């Protein structure tokens, strides 16, 4: 997800400079959360049962959903930057 967001940010002038400064780090859950934390290493959501039980299926891909989110926040980038400056 993080890589998808970084890749997408290059399509937007408002996000591009900040995204270029991001450094992705590989960190284990034990290093990040502490010893004893348990997490599934490769989460792959399985929604087949939900789709069947609700008679529903996603209409938007993850890529399209992220683009919609980026588009929605475009007008708020300048105000958000003021919070961190």
Q: What is the pLDDT of residue 40?
A: 66
Helices (H) and strands (E) in the chain, counts: 6, 0
Range of the domain at 65: 2-84
- Model pTM? 0.69
Distances (CA, A) of 80 to 9, 27, 41: 16, 27, 33
Q: What is the pLDDT of residue 29?
A: 79
d(CA 81, CA 85): 6
Q: What is the pLDDT of residues 3-53, one digit of tens each?
A: 999 999 999 998 999 899 999 999 887 888 888 777 666 666 788 999 999
What is the residue-wise DSSP string for 23-62?
------HHHHH-TT----SS-----HHHHHHHT----S-H
Q: What is the pLDDT of residue 34?
A: 87
**Do 48 and 57 touch, CB atoms closer than 8 A?**
no
Number of domains in the chain: 1
């Amino acid at each position: 997800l993080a890589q998808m967001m970084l890749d997408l940010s290059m399509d937007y002038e408002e996000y591009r400079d900040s995204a270029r400064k991001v450094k992705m780090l590989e960190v284990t859950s034990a290093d990040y959360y502490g010893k004893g934390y348990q997490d599934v290493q490769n989460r792959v959501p399985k929604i087949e049962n939900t789709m069947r039980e609700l008679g529903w299926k996603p209409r938007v891909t993850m890529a399209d959903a992220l683009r919609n989110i980026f588009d929605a926040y475009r007008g708020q980038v300048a105000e958000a930057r003021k919070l961190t400056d």
